Amino acid sequence: MDAAIAQELAEEMIVKHDLALALQLMQDTVVDILKEMGLVKLKRLGFQQAAQAGRLASFAIDYCFQGFRFYEAWRNVDLILLGAEETQFVVDQMGRTITRITDKVTELRGELQRLEGAKKAGEDSRKQLLRELRSKDYQEAHLMGEWFANETGIRAPGGAIQEDR
């Protein structure tokens, strides 16, 4: 997944870079030559101030173009960093989820083994095991209810759950 995202970002950057390079080469070969020829001709015709204004305008255009290229380069860097942060967040979240699920599966396997063992034991040990498991379920339900009440501010009316004896 990381490799696919990195490849997509790299391909997008390569295309943008190629377009900027093509634009720069076109400007260098065509626009700059024509611009210089026009400014020299203005100077020869005696329009010194117009030629100077043209040079200033040429500088301003080049400056804006380079500024745009710089902006695009940093925007691409920001996009890559943002993508890396989002990817890392998802990876961390999935890692925590896998750990929780693995722990829960291990816990349930242990309970199943205890229940299998209780089949062979007497009636009293089976009842004791069921009471322990029910007590554990009540504790988990209580913790979940407390979490919900703390998160939402909503608390159910009534008292504690009474265990059947």
Name the pTM for this structure. Answer: 0.42
Residue 164 scores a pLDDT above 60 = no
The answer as to whether 70 is a domain residue is yes
Identify whether 72 is part of a domain: yes
CB atoms near residue 39 (< 10 Å) = 19
Asked whether residue 77 is assigned to any structural domain, the reply reads yes
Residue 152 forms part of a structural domain? no
Question: From residue 96, how far is each of 65, 92, 138, 151 by CA, in Å?
Answer: 47, 6, 25, 21
pLDDT at position 128 is 87
What is the spatial distance between Cα 67 and Cα 27, in angstroms, rounded to a whole number?
Answer: 15
Structure tokens of 133? 């498991």
Residue 137 lies in a domain: no
| pLDDT exceeds cutoff 90 at 15 | no
Other Cβ atoms within 10 Å of 148 Cβ, number: 13
How far apart CA 112 and CA 150 sit, in angstroms, is 33
Position 160 scores a pLDDT of: 63
pLDDT for the residue 163: 59
Q: Residue 119: inside a domain, yes or no?
A: no
CB contact set of 130 (below 8 Å; sequence gap of 6+)? none
Query: Which of 41, 22, 34 is CA-nearest to residue 58?
Result: 34
How many separate domains does the chain show? 1
**Domain enclosing residue 28, as ranges:** 2-100
pLDDT for 89-137, tens place per residue?
888 899 999 999 999 999 889 988 888 888 888 888 888 888 888 898 8
Q: Residue 153: which pLDDT band, with cuts at 50, 70 and 90?
A: confident
pLDDT value for 100: 92
53 in a domain, yes or no?
Answer: yes
Q: Is residue 154 domain-resident?
A: no
* Chain centre to alpha carbon of residue 143: 31
